[in-house]
Structure 1
Amino acid sequence: MHPLHDYISKQLAERLKARKVVVWYDARREFASFVTELRGSARTSDEAVPVTVGGMAARLTEYDGSMFELRAVAEPFVCGDAPAECMIVYLPGCERDRHGSVLMELEKAGDCYEPQLKRLARNVLRQRYTDGVIDDMLSPERVSYEDLARASSDTSSTEPPSVLKSIFHSTSGNDGIIASWLASDERDAEIKVKEAIRELVKLVRSKLGLELPEDAASPKLRSITLRYVLAGEFRSDLGSAPPSALDAIPAPKTKDEEAAVRELAHQLRTKFSDGYPAMADRVEAELGLRDVAVPAGTLGSIDTFRFEERVLLAHCGDLVAAKKFDEALDVISGREHSFWLDRDVGRKAQWEACRRMAELGSLGMAVRAAVGKAGGDANAWIDAYATKDGWFRLDQAQRRLEAWVANLDDEPEERPLGVVRGVYEDACRAMADGFTKALVAAKWTVSAFLHQTRIYSEVVSEQPKPVAYFFVDAMRFEMGVELTERLPKSAEVSVRPAVCALPSITPIGMAALQPGASSSFSVTEQTGTLGVRIDDAFLPDLAARKKFAASRVPRLADVALDELLSLQPSKLAKRIEGAQVIIVRSQEIDHAGERGFTFQARQVMDTVIDNLARAIRKLAAAGVEHCVLTADHGHLFFPSDRDESMRIEAPGGDEIDLHRRCWIGRGGATPPGCVRVTASALGYESDLDFVFPFGSGVFKAGGDLAFHHGGPSLQEMIIPVVTVRMKAREAEKSTAGPVTATGLPDAVTNRIFSVTIQLDGRNLSLFSNELVVRPLLVSAGKQVGGVGMAVDGDFDRATGCVKLQAGKRVTVAFLLSDESSPSLRVVIQDPTTDAELYRSPVDIPVRLGV
């Protein structure tokens, strides 16, 4: 037979296999010749004759003027619940009666078939011809089955086989031929030599509805078609009248042509993604679209051109500046997988900054509204701040935004950033003002929450030994919550709020964490020096506190966080050998903030959280299963210096110490906007007075004007108490895991850079088809960066983890947080076990600014 017969037979066979009976209406008698071929000879009787259809045995019965006679012939073969034989009931010249057909029972029980010859033939002819040529072949009204059978034959066609198909022999389908031709001119010479321009013009007209001149060369035709396709997609996606720049570009006339245009543009972006930017940029420039004022709100969901992404980001900034935060988040969510953003980490980072601005603004407005409704109970204020989904999330959103902005090479638009910073400051000011008033009303007593002086006696001393006791200078409550999210899921972790001792400065808070502070604790001065007295010991500084702790805790080890992370496992084990309590000190946050290094402080905060988690895991590997982490105080941290109107003159008098957020001394005058409290009112055996600004005001004193602490705000006073139990185990160092990384830079020249990671086939039987991993940047044993964004992968911003699926590449954008690192390595861990799944083979030098 021939391809057309074989194709129709296959269609019938599939229907017979599914339903056993096919009632076939052929109103135009288009398939009469096929039925003759099927029968094998001329019809000689009214009986049902045996035939073979696509390899299946069946009976064929044909209409010859009487529906009742036809039914009578078919019924013996199809009666019963399961027909014994397959049956084709062929009705040439008959229209189907959908309401009163004599064959209704057969139609319901089987499959009613009403094919069109030209439609079936087109599917067969596509094996040899392009759609433009097929259009010409099918255009005669009375084209017959025999004509189409000859055209489909390898040897008897009246048309030569497609030249374009031979030129684009490795390309599938007509859409694929057009897309390949638009994406590259490498076959232009062959198209010209083989005189395939005419066929190409026909194909474009057939698929897209675009009339092209047959006498033009391939490059000109390509330029015309590319403008038509990209302008057509852009126009169809637009929610308003198209700009006049598109007036000269014809539009598709039918829905099918419009769908073909959109599908072709999609193919160009997905199958020819490397070349698409140049194509789109060329058309954008030719049409002058980047200079056209297109309302951002009318741009659709597809970013055909590069200018759309930039217009929409500016629009999001305007929405944020107008405090329409939820609208901005909707736009941002709709652009998460934009073609342009997936290929440009720098632009994606700008969108991420806008997302964080909108999230901070939205939270700020919600918290500000809740603060306005809060009552006068200080315990209720703390509960609202520290409960799950409490107000602390506002501080977390602010830190994440400021840390992100600090890592950008190009800072976001100033206006929206200024607006959300203002929203945050307004909420903080209201919180500080309301909480201070609540404390005054409660006579500075909060009974429902753990006090800082009881952390050692009620938490640390109750832990099985050995236990690590972390003193993290200036760690806010929200940072403690985030730390718990970055620890392995196999660890037993809890976090609770504690109220720090006033004033919330390092000498006081660190002393309050000492053993014995729960029974004897007073803030006092000795020979003009501020300090804390516990029993008969005066603790004014670190040296005194270290000596005191060593005298109270037998077998005590004391190590700085930086040193712990830098020590080799064997040296760490020796360093803490026999110790029952290991004090781990971290001063990175306060050190950067207090010295006015605002930019570095923003960067270092995220790094400290990750390095604390790293230290806990390292201690667990060394046999220290239990850890308690807390802080001396929190902090207020704004992006810029306090306005002059918020800087308050100090009270004067007998001044012992002065900080931005507290005055300590005797006498003097309480400035407007401040509150004075005696030491005795705070439970101290001392004659000192303390003066604190209301709200977020500061004294005119030394110290940073953006980062400060010492006062009675929730951010300064509410500290985290994190308890961790992580089972001891040997640290896994395997570097032959199931994850691979490509695109590693020769050197890190920007704080944000991308690497592509993938779940490899090797050792995959040990893992599922998907795996959650934690990619890190590590230098000298310390974490110096992590993932900030992911393309084509699920990314958890709280934990820094990415979900990988077998065979699917994910591009991650790393943020380098510690610029002082001379070199680094990319490390990928299993967050559940900390097993190392990948480590880059060599150190990557850091050369920022190169």
Structure 2
Amino acid sequence: MVSSIYKKDFNIDQAYRQLQHTFMSESGVEEYRVLFDQLTFWYENRYLMELSRYTDDLIETELKANWPLQDIMQQKNFYRTIIRPLIEGSRERVFVVISDAMRFEIGNELTQHFSQRLNAEVKLIPMQATLPTYTQIGMASLLPGKITGISSDGTVFVDGFSTKGLNNRNKILQLNEPDSVALKLDEFIPLGKEEGLALIKGKRVVYLYHDNIDAIGDSSKTEGNTYEAVAQTLERLKTAVKKLTGTYEAGRIYLTSDHGFLYQTSLVEQYQKTESINGDVFDRNRRFAIGNNLNTPEGTVKISLQYLGLEQEAVIAKGLNRFTAGGGLRFVHGGAMPQECIIPLIEYRQVKGKARKAEEDRVNVRIASIQKVITSYMFIVPFFQEEKVSTHLYPRTLRAAFYRNNERISNEITITFDSEGEVSGRQTDVVFHLLEDRYRTGDVCVLKLEDVSGRTTEIYAEEEYELKLYSI
């Protein structure tokens, strides 16, 4: 089940986030309030609860003594296994964009967007974040070197050096690779070309830090805007990659995060609240505490930090619980739920010269209907993705609608065919609604498919359907 979280189950989190954001930001959706409330209840009280029970069992039986999962990239090994070999084996400049609290499903949405660029090779790698899943230890894990300690004020040290703040992270980077620099993304990207080049001239490794989701979600006053912050972050990161590849001719970019997050729109119930941790606490938030001699109230579990070589211990909240002390309760992280601890590592490579993704590099799609006859104003059209998405075949996005005499007579649907599964899981059923009108029996309409995967829109396919509607 662990692998299913980053292979398919993240789609549930993504769809739920998009639903919530649409409902909060769009007008004319109030008529769907009952369905919206039902979906919200199912996600927060059924799906997350079941997932939390599985996670708690896994922590209790396997992971509280030794956190790393097998067969998944570890955040603490990021620089050693990804960045250092590139620096030692080539002369290219590498950009690393670290966006605070960008969880895996957000990384997947970014990957799908970048994959549509004709001159890009994009790969999404799941990565297990360091536990507890909070900013200071996550940011430290992404630096070169090894975490060597945590002081009583919560400062995390790498190779004996403080990781708190941009200046200290710059020092650690430059100790390992002199031609490195750490900058704030929102300060660097708006710069003109000459100003920007002056900051990265001669640099082999450029770390760009971005904090929008966590900054908004971690405040009780603004946590209700979490999903709006995600939407803003997606646009800013798209803009950043466009600027890096265009203005600065970036050939390789990595986008990742320090941790993910849990968010619920409904009020946190009393049963989800856990009493605060006592002991010699070095740092804490609503899902964890770290220090020495920590107690473990009901609804918590103690985690060994020996996997980091640390003597301290951590206590995390089980399930969906929150500690009552400090800050908002709806946006949380620090625990071991997959939404908190499975984070994205996006590898973006810019391909120079001839565009890599020609038409034949995308999966093929066909209409799977046997009978091309429409007998109802609301009907389903099945689409079949003929190949699975792979390193050589990329997703295809189609825009579909029915036309008669070149006038659209149905709703318009945009579908991305991006399944990596086997044949049985590659059919997508799409619901169309014909505009109410009197159609002559025997009239012909056309299902037009437009390919919107790349920079231009092209006709992908057209299929004729016969209309046999006898009443409105």
Name the TM-score, length of structure 1 as normaliser: 0.40
Per the alignment, residue 261 of structure 2 pairs with: 635
CA RMSD, 1 decimal: 2.8
Q: Which of 57, 60, 67 pairs up with 1:440?
A: 60
- For residues 803-847 of structure 1, the C-alpha deviation after alignment (integer angstroms, 9 at most, x for no partner) is xxxxxxxxxxxxxxxxxxxxxxxxxxx974699xxxxxxxxxxxx
- Contact 1:482 1:798 (C-alpha < 8 Å) held by counterparts: no
Q: Deviation at 1:714?
A: 0.5
Match of 1:585 among 209, 226, 241: 209
Does the Cα contact within 8 Å between 2:294 and 2:313 map onto a contact in 1? no
Distance 1:544 1:429 in 2: 40
Paired amino acid for 1:627: I
TM superposition shift of 1:648? 0.6
Once the 2 structures are TM-superposed, how far is the Cα of residue 626 of structure 1 from its aligned partner?
Answer: 0.4
Alignment match, 2:6 = 386
Counterpart selection for 1:715 from 339, 364, 380: 339
Q: Which runs of 5+ in 1 are unaligned?
A: 1-380, 730-771, 775-790, 800-829, 836-850
Compute the displacement of 1:651 (Å): 2.6
Q: Secondary structure at the match of 1:383?
A: helix
Partner of 1:475: 102
Where does 1:396-415 land on structure 2 (aligned, <5 Å)? 396-409=14-27, 412=30, 413-415=32-34
Distance 1:542 1:641 in 2: 36
CA distance in 2, matches of 1:395, 1:798: 18
> Are the equivalent residues in 2 in contact too, given 1:498–1:719 (CA < 8 A)?
yes
Alignment of 1:625-704 (within 5 A): 625-680=251-306, 682-686=307-311, 688-704=312-328
Cα deviation, residue 794, structure 1? 5.0
1:424-474 Cα distance to aligned partner (Å, 9 max, x none): 112122213312321332233412211101111111223352011011100
* Aligned-partner residue type, residue 455 of structure 1: F
CA-CA distance at 1:773 after TM superposition:
11
The corresponding residue for 1:417 is 36
- For residue 411 of structure 1, report the CA deviation from its aligned partner: 5.9
Deviation at 1:547, TM superposition (A): 2.7
Q: Which of 438, 454, 457 is equivalent to 2:77?
A: 454
Count matched residues: 359
Q: Distance in 2 between matches of 1:394 and 1:658?
A: 29
Contact 1:495/1:722 (<8 A) preserved:
yes
**Preserved CA contact (<8 Å) 2:94 2:204:** yes
Q: Does 1:486 align with 2:113?
A: yes
Output the CA distance in 2 between the equivalents of 1:613 and 1:548. 28
Q: Within 5 Å, give how 1:245-324 maps onto structure 2.
A: none
Letter in 2 for 1:435: T
Secondary structure at the residue paired with 1:676? strand
CA offsets 1:252-304 (integer angstroms, 9 cap, x no match): xxxxxxxxxxxxxxxxxxxxxxxxxxxxxxxxxxxxxxxxxxxxxxxxxxxxx
What is the CA-CA distance between 1:728 and the residue it aligns to? 5.6
Instruction: Kindly report which structure 2 residues correspond to 1:54-133, keeping only aligned pairs within 5 A, or say none.
Output: none
Q: 1:460, 1:628 within 8 Å by CA — same for their partners in 2?
A: no
Aligned-pair distance for 1:419? 2.0
- Could you tell me which of 184, 204, 210 is aligned with 1:560? 184
Structure (1/2) with the larger helix percentage: 1
Deviations 1:541-586 (A, max 9, x none): 4443233223322222333222343223443333322221111111
Aligned residue type for 2:101: A
For 2:456 and 2:206, the matched residues in 1 are separated by 22
Once residues 414 and 292 of structure 2 are traced to their aligned partners in structure 1, the CA distance between those partners, rounded to angstroms, is 54
CA separation of 1:445/1:574 partners in 2, compared to 1, >3 Å: closer, same or farther? closer
Cα–Cα, structure 1 residues 557 and 537, in superposed 2: closer, same or farther, change >3 Å?
Answer: closer
CA contact (8 A) 1:476 1:635 kept: yes
Amino acid at match of 2:82: V
TM-score normalised by length of structure 2: 0.70
- Which structure's CA Rg is the greater one? 1
Unpaired runs of 5+ residues, structure 2, are 354-396, 400-409, 419-451, 458-472
Q: 1 CA distance for matches of 2:173 and 2:316? A: 30
Deviates more, 1:405-414 or 1:449-458: 405-414
Return the structure number with greater relative CO, CA threshold 8 A, min gap 6: 2
Query: 1:625 and 1:445, CA in 2 relative to 1: closer, same or farther beyond 3 A?
Result: closer
Instruction: Write out aligned runs for 1:771-786 (5 A).
Output: none
Q: Structure 1 residue 604: deviation in Å?
A: 2.3
Distance 1:655 1:411 in 2: 46
Per-residue CA shift, 1:41-88, capped at 9, x if unaligned? xxxxxxxxxxxxxxxxxxxxxxxxxxxxxxxxxxxxxxxxxxxxxxxx
CA distance in 1, matches of 2:294, 2:203: 48
Identity of aligned residues (%): 26
Question: Alignment partner for residue 613 of structure 1, among 222, 238, 248?
Answer: 238
What amino acid is the match of 1:384?
A: S
Residue 521 of structure 1, CA deviation: 2.2
1:20-35 maps to which residues of 2 (within 5 A)? Answer: none
Distance 1:572 1:541, change over 3 A: closer
Name the CA distance, whole Å, in 2 between partners of 1:833 and 1:383.
33
> Larger deviation: 538-547 or 709-718?
538-547
| Kept after mapping to 1: 8 A contact 2:398/2:415 | no
- Give the deviation of 1:646 after TM superposition: 0.8
- After TM superposition, list the pairs within 5 Å mapping 1:797-812 onto structure 2: none
Counterpart of 1:428? 48
Please give the alpha-carbon distance, in whole angstroms, between the structure 2 residues aligned to 1:548 and 1:834: 44
Amino acid of the residue matched to residue 525 of structure 1?
Answer: I
> 1:498 is aligned with what amino acid?
M
CA contact (8 A) 1:489 1:831 kept: no
Q: Residue 170 of structure 2 contacts residue 181 of structure 2 at CA under 8 Å; is this kept in 1? A: no
The one-letter code of the counterpart of 2:142 is: L
Q: 1:643 to 1:531 in 2, by over 3 A?
A: same
Alpha-carbon contact 2:173-2:181 (below 8 Å) kept? no
Distance 1:504 1:724 in 2: 25
| 2:189 match: secondary structure | helix
**3-state secondary structure, aligned to 1:562:** helix
Cα offset, 1:726, TM superposition? 1.2
Task: Give, in angstroms, the shift of residue 707 of structure 1.
Answer: 0.7
Provide, for residues 671-727 of structure 1, a one-character-per-residue CA deviation record: whole Å limited to 9, x for no partner: 1121112333x34322x2211121111001212211110001111001111101113
* Counterpart-to-counterpart distance in 2, 1:411 and 1:434: 35
Aligned residue type for 1:584: L
Letter in 1 for 2:39: V
In the alignment, which of 401, 414, 428 is matched to residue 795 of structure 1? 414
Q: Is the 8 A contact 1:500 1:509 kept in 2?
A: yes
CA distance in structure 2 between the partners assigned to 1:797 and 1:607 by the alignment: 22
Q: Letter of the 1:447 partner, please give it.
A: Q
With over 3 angstroms needed to count, the CA separation of the structure-2 counterparts of 1:489 and 1:792, relative to structure 1, is farther
State the Cα distance separating 1:603 from its structure 2 match. Answer: 1.3
Pair 611,727 (structure 1): closer, same or farther in 2 beyond 3 Å: farther
Quick one: distance in 2 between partners of 1:410 and 1:710? 37
Find the aligned partners of 2:128 and 2:206 in 1 and give their Cα distance.
23
Structure 1 residue 796: Cα displacement = 4.5
Instruction: Note the 1:231-246 alignment, pairs <5 A.
Output: none
User: Which structure dedicates a bigger proportion of its chain to strand?
Assistant: 2
CA distance 1:563–1:796, shift in 2 (3 Å): farther
Equivalent in the alignment of 2:219: 595
Compared CA separation, residues 466 and 832, structure 1 to 2 (3 A): farther
**Paired residue secondary structure (2:157):** strand
Q: Given that residues 68 and 128 in structure 2 are in contact (C-alpha distance below 8 angstroms), is that contact kept between their aligned partners in structure 1?
A: no
